[in-house]
Amino acid sequence: MTTATKIDNDYQPITHTIAEFESAAPVKDAKVLGWICEMADIMQPDQIFWCDGSTAQWQLLTAEMVAQGSLIKLNPDIRPNSFLARSSSDDVARVEERTFICAADPEAVGPTNNWRDPDEMRQELLPFFKGAMRGRTMYVLPFAMGPIGGAITQLGLQLTDSPYAVLSMQIMARVSFEVLRHIERGANWVRTAHTVGAPLLDGAADSAWPCNSTKYICHFPDTLEVLSFGSGYGGNALLSKKCFALRLASVMGKREGWLAEHMLLIKVTNTNTGRVYNLAAAFPSACGKTNLAMLTPTIPGWKVETLGDDIAWLRQGADGRLYAINPEAGFFGVAPGTGESTNPTAISALWGNTIYTNVALTDDGDVWWEGKTDEVPAHLIDWQGQDWTPASGTPAAHPNSRFTVPVTQAPSIAPEWSEAENGVPLDAILFGGRRATNVPLVAKALSWQHGVFMGATISSEKTAAQEGLVGELRRDPFAMLPFCGYNMADYWGHWLAIGEKLGDKAPAIFQVNWFRKDADGKFLWPGFGENSRVIDWILRSLDADSESDDAKGEELPVGIVPASGELNLTGIEISDESLAELFRVDNESWLQECMLTEEFFAMFGDRVPQELRAQLQGLRERLGA
Ligand code: OXD
Ligand code: MN
């Protein structure tokens, strides 16, 4: 999408009815035509609209939605070409309990997913999809995940009756008719179909946010299809993201020897030597991924550029190293907590061309959310359209309110995001959780296998009330718990197999934890920009392996941590006690943790790779068991 503001009055989108389909559709591929025809026959839209990803199409749809009352145009002097959408209050997040993996073999889907038989699910869905688009337009979006033509890139089509989803997808993915040309030449593609499940019967007036109280987010890995019903929100409706780029792509990666990961991607340059490093990092949702993706270092010597904030696809390149792309084209970021002081880069990315969802509206036609500025406005319209003042006692923006913005607007975006069409070679992979106890600020894995063990055991304490209790952990292996489209234990096996193929070309693996607390419940580490100190040690420790022995480490039972004096702490106040606590490994609580890991592994029975059991045993032995 470009930022032109002139309306192209001559723009004529390709639209037609099902009857005109054969002659009017701008694609010749029989499978594409057959699938769209079949879906249109079921859902019965009034017309079909082909999305070319153009600025003119953006202008047409935003104008229509503003006129219809489903988008609010923000003050163009403050936030040009930007819009606010307010969802229905029962459609505000991904619905994990209504997310299904529909594959023939339940064992292959595993205990962390909702399994359904694919044929039975299709039967169950049919009455919902029948006539679901009556009175509406069916939009057809051809899109690419990654630079078109790149070695790691994949193609897809989304059908949807939500113009909000169309606009969001136009930001989040590379929507273009060029995709159709590649499909015509034989490229594989993924079928995704979405309906809000709210047919407009007999000319009934539309609501601002149509949706259905019944929701289904169904994945069919055997046929590479997604069918989504009833929700207009985020990952439920923008099917390129979690549905395709993680759940289906993880299965595709298993079959084809690559990895689809819930990881941010950054390029870090040593400004003294010019040496470039690329890092991927997995964190559970709401652990500050966007902040790390847009890190502003507080120590000299490093420049951090953004490649991605949520998803990375990893594949071995011709030189044997592991290459990564961010398959997306936009950020779908959580607004609350994104602030001028905490993430100035994100704030400047949001200057315009942005869709906001469920944030608050200011009196001068701008947006606001908790944490955006230190000063709280005296009056707002909250995310539900109600008057709001600081005395209201409710959040002005929904906690899961979002901004949708092109990645190219981040001042920190690295040119490799689009120019490295086959990806960037990875130097290190980070796994992080949110742990008040036990897990050190940073620890380097002793081997690839140990790193996979670290990834497999990522966890967070459940709630503040339970913090400090080792017993209350929410496991989120590889931060993929809601996103791995197949048996999690097989997924660990796949990671081990990839490591074997990479051999000594494999990136190093680290565990990080910004969230450790002292006995009074206060964070021990300042976080945010200061995390650059951890990145600094990580990268210097990579060089220590080869050229110099610059960043020394000390081996603890749980991994290699910075040796005394090796973590750059110049310019921050951190007491010796806090520092010691940040890296303290208490053998007793770690042995307890090993017990919990064993219980967790038991969930997967004998599908757990032997190597991971060996890693658990090795850890116990190092802890002196
Ligand atoms: C997200 C998530 O929305 O991880 O990115 O939940
Ligand atoms: Mn995510």
pLDDT band at residue 276, thresholds of 50, 70 and 90?
very high
Say yes or no: CB of residue 461 within 6 Å of ligand 1. no
**Six token digits for residue 331:** 């950020």
State the distance from the centre of ligand 1 to the C-alpha of 336, rounded, in angstroms: 14
Query: What is the pLDDT, as a whole number, of residue 295?
Result: 96
Residue-by-residue DSSP string for 311-335: -EEEEE-TTSSEEEE---SEEEEE-
Among 311-320, 334-343, 386-395, the minimum mean pLDDT is found in: 334-343
> Do residue 107 and residue 32 come from a single domain?
yes
**pLDDT digits over 441-477, tens only?**
999 999 999 999 999 999 987 654 444 454 478 899 9
Say how many Å lie between the CA of residue 402 and the centre of ligand 1: 11
Final residue of a structural domain among 256, 291, 311: 256
Per the CB < 8 A criterion, the answer to whether 49 and 15 are in contact is yes
How far is the CA of 175 from the CAs of 2, 249, 268, 333, 518, in angstroms? 13, 18, 29, 20, 48
Please name which ligand lies nearest the alpha carbon of 357. 1
Residue 371 in domain: no
**Tokens standing for residue 625:** 């068991």
Distance CA 241, CA 561 (A): 35
Q: Is residue 84 a part of any domain in this protein?
A: no
Q: Are residues 577 and 470 in the same domain?
A: yes
What's residue 1's pLDDT?
A: 40
Same domain, 201 and 275: no
* Residue 423 shares a structural domain with residue 486: yes
Same domain, 97 and 224: yes
Assess whether the C-beta atom of 261 lies below 6 angstroms from ligand 1: no
Please check whether residue 347 lies inside any domain of the structure: no
Can you give the residue range of the structural domain that contains 531? 261-328+419-624
Nearest CA owner, ligand 1 atom 1:
285
Report the residue among 285, 292, 398 best suited for mutation to probe ligand 1: largest number of ligand atoms under 8 A from its CB.
285
Confidence at residue 545, expressed as pLDDT on a 0 to 100 scale: 59
**Ligand having the closest approach to the CA of 263:** 2
The pLDDT of residue 5 is above 60 = no
Answer whether residue 530 is part of any domain: yes
Parallel, antiparallel, or unpaired for β 387-388 and 402-406?
A: unpaired
pLDDT of residue 548: 58
Pick the closest to residue 561 from 539, 583, 545 (CA basis).
Answer: 583
Same domain, 470 and 515: yes
* 8 A C-beta contact, residue 484 and residue 478: yes
In a domain? residue 432: yes
The residue to mutate among 92, 261, 310, having the most atoms of ligand 1 within 8 angstroms of its beta carbon, is 310
| Same domain, residue pair 177 and 308 | no
pLDDT value at position 7?
57
Q: 314-343 burial, b for 16+ CB within 10 Å, e for fewer?
A: bbbbeeebbbbbbbbbbbbbbbbbbbeebb
> The CATH number of the domain where 187 resides is what?
3.40.449.10
Active site residues: 287
Ligand 1 contact, 578 CB (< 6 A) = no
User: How many Å lie between the centroid of ligand 1 and the Cα of residue 330?
Assistant: 13
In a domain, 80, yes or no: no
Which residue, by CA, sits nearest to atom 4 of ligand 1? 285
CATH code at position 606:
3.90.228.20
Quote the CA–CA distance of 491 and 221 in Å, as a whole number.
Answer: 14
pLDDT for position 120: 98
Domain annotation covers residue 572 = yes
Structure confidence by residue, pLDDT tens digits, 394-442: 999 999 999 999 999 999 999 999 999 999 999 999 999 999 999 999 9
Which numbered ligand comes closest to the C-alpha of 331? 1
Q: Which of 92, 99, 242, 458 to mutate to test the pocket of ligand 1 (most atoms within 8 A of CB)?
A: 242
Cβ(362) to ligand 1 under 6 A?
Answer: no
Dihedral class, residue 14 (left if φ above 0, else alpha if ψ from -120 to 50, else beta): beta
Distance between CA atoms of residues 157 and 139, nearest Å = 10
The pLDDT-based confidence of 22 (bands split at 50, 70, 90) is: confident
Do 103 and 249 lie in a common domain?
yes
Whether residue 166 has pLDDT greater than 90: yes
Burial 282-308 (b: 16+ CB within 10 A, else e): bbbbebbbbbbbbbebbbeebebbbbb
The pLDDT of residue 202: 85
For residues 242 and 284, membership in a common domain is answered with: no
CA angle 283, 303, 574 (to 5 degrees): 65
* Ligand 2 midpoint to CA 262 (Å): 6
**Contact (Cβ atoms closer than 8 angstroms) between residue 228 and residue 236:** yes
Q: Is 47 in the pocket of ligand 1 (CB under 6 A)?
A: no
**What percentage of the chain carries pLDDT values higher than 90?**
91
Structurally, the chain folds into a number of domains equal to 2
Residue 429 sits in the same domain as residue 457 = yes
Q: State in Å: Cα 287 to ligand 1 middle.
A: 10
DSSP of 574-623: --HHHHHHHH---HHHHHHHHHHHHHHHHTTGGGS-HHHHHHHHHHHHHT
**Which whole number is the average pLDDT over 478-491?**
98
Alpha-carbon gap, residue 357 to 441, rounded angstroms: 34
Query: Which ligand is located closest to the Cα atom of residue 261?
Result: 2
User: Are 484 and 468 contained in the same domain?
Assistant: yes
Q: How far is the CA of 284 from the centre of ligand 1 (A)?
A: 8
> In the listed set 230, 256, 282, which residue is the last one of a domain according to the structure?
256
In a domain, 249, yes or no: yes
- 35-42 average pLDDT score: 97
Residue 625 pLDDT = 86
* Of the residues 233, 256, 279, the one at which a domain ends: 256
Summarize pLDDT for 561-601 with one digit per residue, the tens.
Answer: 999 999 999 999 999 999 999 999 999 999 999 999 999 99
Please tell me the residue having the least CA distance from ligand 1 atom 2.
Answer: 285
Instruction: Supply the pLDDT for residue 465.
Output: 43
**Span 97-121, pLDDT tens digits:** 999 999 999 999 999 999 999 999 9
Q: Kindly give the pairing relationship between strand 330-334 and strand 259-261.
A: unpaired
Do 251 and 269 sit in the same domain of this protein? Answer: no
Give pLDDT, residue 549: 54
